[in-house]
Structure 1
Amino acid sequence: MPEGPEVQRSADLLHDALAGQTIRVLEARTKVAKAWLKEHPDVFAGKRVEKVWAHGKHLVGSVEGGLFFHSHYLMWGRWMVVAPDAPEVETRDRRERARIVTDETAALLYSAPKFNVGMGDPYEHIPALPLLGPDVLDEPFDADEFLRRLDLEPQREIGTALLDQRVSAGIGNYLRAEILYECRMDPWRLVGDLDGAERACLAETTPALCRKAYLEGGRTVPDEIQTLETDDRDMRYSPHAHAWNTKHWVFRRTNLPCPTCDDYVRQKHQLSHSWEDADGKTIEKKRIIYYCPTCQGVAPEHVKPARPHKDRRPPDSEWAAPDEEKDPSYT
């Protein structure tokens, strides 16, 4: 799932392409937006896009006349900007969910299940928006509000709390793992058990690491660590030094050596949230957390035995070509 840095880059892309431009066409295929546009035909036509911004994983655009559009990528969504006469505009892709076309550009939304349009304040019409915590890319980051929201549920595990968009907006699975690693923190520690130094580390590391990921295409490690993971064959899955395998401390590096100590990175499912269905049955959703047991002082009950990748990987000659290779994040 794209996280705060990726959505912010999309917002930057759309703002640069659309701000100040007059909309010729705005269309949607999502059910709610399509119905709203049917009730308000051509309401966006001739209106100027004022601003596009991100709040966490949500992307919002304001249009003159009090109009707005809103999208959320979930797992696979993405915006693409092309010329208004590009083949992508002429040929409808079945994955397309919305399009905004001006005289100079076209913005196409693919594979995102959430696209909304409306009139008024989007924070009053999109239920998730007013619940969001401070954006991890805000400058300055509201660390006091972040910690206040974190403290509302002291019995939560910190690895679970960081995924809650009501605590801070924009953290997903890769940022969660990397923040906890940099703070040398056990993902299963309870929020209420964190000491002052640990809380200060979270408040400082969260915006700093997210800003780095935003500026550097998702990279969370310094140059010297990426060089280490690139040059040492045992530090990556593939014989090819792909960026996805060399730009993180622990995320998707299961059974590879920790870049800091002699231990191996592990993964384990951790409860992210739970709810009751209509029959009163508790439903639990879990996400994979990546961690180094030694560096993060993880409690023994959460540490699976290491299965060093170098001891069971296929010969380099058997690997697929780079453009055919798949992510081999072994469990």
Structure 2
Amino acid sequence: MPFLSMPTAAADPPQGGAHITGIEHVNDRWDKVSVYSPAMNQVIVNDVFKAPRSGAPTFYLLPGIDGGDNLDPGGNFAPGAKSWFGMTDIQGFFANKNVNVVSPLGGQFSWWTDWVNDGSKQYQTYMTRELPPVINAQYNTNGRNAVGGLSSTGGTAVDYAVQAPGLFRAVGSYSGLLNPSDNAQQVSLTLMGGGLSADNMWGPAGGPLWVAHDPTKNVGKLKGTAVYAAASTSGGEGAVDRLPEGFGPNITGGLIERIVSDSTRAFADAAAAAGVPVHYVARPEGSHTWGLFESEMQESWNTTIGPALGS
């Protein structure tokens, strides 16, 4: 399982300019758009579900720790299929909604942030400076943006609003880790699963960059941004998980979900103390599965993200 009203701001690309290198039309609404990132000197593939009409806003959805690929032994997933477009009903849910849904692929064990000691991992720069202008131009958007993330990228999605104020009108965390500086050991263990050191991401654990990228420590900077944050308090399996019959107890998923639930509650408490409105949902069941993430995402759209985007 993967672990984890404002004016619109223009997103200015770095010198050199990100650009589209190719578009694969999966169907009349679904494109796979390859975008060159100057910051990382690589091409990122992005799933795009096009709005039915031009001049629509854009909802970005970050992948989990596996970047859309399967990391579980014995699993049978095509590359890029363990993703929002492969594991949830993006096409059905958004069919009649006037919004562009964009989900980048890749970035395994990157936390989708900028790494201080690894130039190949500059995902915050990609998501906040490089990709939005390209999407805006290609799909004739209205420049209004929102972003959501699951598990490891739930906190990252909220952090983007802190790091790039005004770019995202709304953010959503779906069973995400929202206080990483207080959970540095959990983050470190997760990255070690990919053979990486968290010190190369934000420096020594608990240091100033960890605090700077901690949504709970910077919750005051979210004033004016619509925020949704949800997790399951029990970590117990339920119908929402959509697990196969006879799957058995989801022990690992349940443990992770309880960790992110505590983190989400700490974030919500900090927001309440700071007077920052947050749509916080403590769900009774769910064990860190795609079924749970999808349900949280859909709820976030109906309650928080869609209204903030005017859709």
TM-score scaled by structure 1? 0.24
Higher RCO, 1 vs 2 (CA within 8 Å, ≥6 residues apart): 2
Alignment TM-score, normalising by the size of structure 2 = 0.25
